[in-house]
Structure 1
């Protein structure tokens, strides 16, 4: 039962990992570009720095 639950968790959290990484790289690049043009909001800074 625990093994099945862990397998389901693993499948859910690792599905499409490469595309998730790529989308995060794009978002970080966007935030960095915006930071060069203007001051980022507190929420954007938290998102950028984790």
Structure 2
């Protein structure tokens, strides 16, 4: 039996009004990417006004 595992993937979801939180999300994703087997990205949370 040959079992294959895919690389772990992560997404950092954020909301940033002025860009500060986006920079934190980018830093978190870069830290995760520092682990050779991890794929990470960021995604803005899109909100709509009610």
The TM-score by the shorter chain falls in which range? 0.3 to 0.5
TM-score, scaled relative to structure 1 = 0.40
Give the number of the structure with larger relative contact order, counting CA–CA contacts within 8 Å between residues 6 or more apart: 2
Larger fraction in helix: 1
Larger fraction in strand: 2
TM-score, scaled relative to structure 2 = 0.40
